[in-house]
Structure 1
Amino acid sequence: MTFWLAISLTPAAQAFCFNEAGAIYQIDPTLLKAIAQQESRLSAKAVNTNRDKRGRVLSVDDGLMQVNSTHIPRLQKMGVLRHPEDLLHQPCLNVKIGAWILAKHLRACGVNWACLGSYNAGFHPRHEKKRLHYAQQVYARYWPVVSGDRRTP
């Protein structure tokens, strides 16, 4: 483990990453952290492979915010990423990219919980139940923190 990675995973560094990303995209940092908790359990090294019913790889989700590989070509073209591995080795960058993706979604379908669910389930109409279920999971992580009820969901 590199020194930078060890520092970047401290609670103070994580808070800074979520606060900075939240400020850039005007999203509550507590909400961003709740999404990261749901997506990766706050593991910067989390990797998940998405497969179709036949087992073929469709995409891969990387890092704290589980950034989907479908975003990589655009992020590289924009100069945000050099290599896909940056999503695993630069946790703060991963959080900022996740916030950027969420901000794009919220602009597309509005600031509401159903739209937030599109971060995980996309926009296809057949994924409505999955979007709502995901939003409920994130809300269960978010609400106790913002309401002052520190009991874990």
Structure 2
Amino acid sequence: MRFFLSCALTTMLTGLMFFSLNAQAFCFNEAGMRYHVAPQLLRAIAEVESGMNPAATGYNRDRQGRITSRDYGLMQINSTHIPQLKAMGVIRSENDLLTQPCLNVQTGAWILARHLQVCGLTWQCLGSYNAGFADSNQARRMIYARKVYTLWLASR
């Protein structure tokens, strides 16, 4: 009986993992189609940003160590976007970005698409997803873009 329960539990967990991977793929594919961004690129960004952890929360600090903003979920949506996302009716609170992974991916794709409209389809522009547009962040943008590029290449 114990062996049977162990096998049944293993089968169930394997099925849940498979479903989870399929659901994840669906989220990236849908967001990619909606915002005209390659799903593999979105997945690479999520891997760099959160290690594919939908519950990840990051804290950005200034030089004195004070928290200046927070990042939420798979795509590490920065808290600076929260007021606009609330005003648009996309979220009710930051928690929505942690409990709804597909919404998080859609939001990240929307942010990336807006960045690409501003500065074009370049690696420097892709780096702005993480490091912003400030001239002083050019090196940070390229370091980030190389990380994403490396994971994107591995997914092909």
> Could you say which residue in structure 1 is the equivalent of 2:30?
20
| 1:27 match: secondary structure | coil
Q: Which runs of 4+ in 1 moved over 4 A?
A: none
> Could you say which residue in structure 1 is the equivalent of 2:65?
55
Q: Which amino acid aligns with 1:59?
A: S
> Could you say which residue in structure 2 is the equivalent of 1:151?
none
1:1-153 alignment, distance < 5 Å? 10-146=20-156
Radius of gyration: which is bigger? 2
Task: After TM superposition, give the deviation of residue 144 of structure 1 in Å.
Answer: 2.2
Q: Which runs of 5+ in 2 are unaligned?
A: 1-15
- Aligned partners of 1:79, 1:119: CA distance in 2, in Å? 22
| 1:117 match: secondary structure | helix
- Aligned partners of 1:26, 1:51: CA distance in 2, in Å? 32
Query: Normalised by the size of structure 1, how large is the TM-score?
Result: 0.89
Q: Which runs of 5+ in 1 are unaligned?
A: 1-5, 147-153
Deviations 1:9-56 (A, max 9, x none): 810000000000000000000000000000001000000100101111
Task: After TM superposition, give the deviation of residue 93 of structure 1 in Å.
Answer: 0.1
Worse-superposed segment, 9-18 or 77-86:
9-18
| 2:59 match: secondary structure | strand
Task: After TM superposition, give the deviation of residue 112 of structure 1 in Å.
Answer: 1.1
| 1:64 match: secondary structure | coil
Please tell me the root mean square deviation across aligned C-alpha atoms, in Å. 1.2
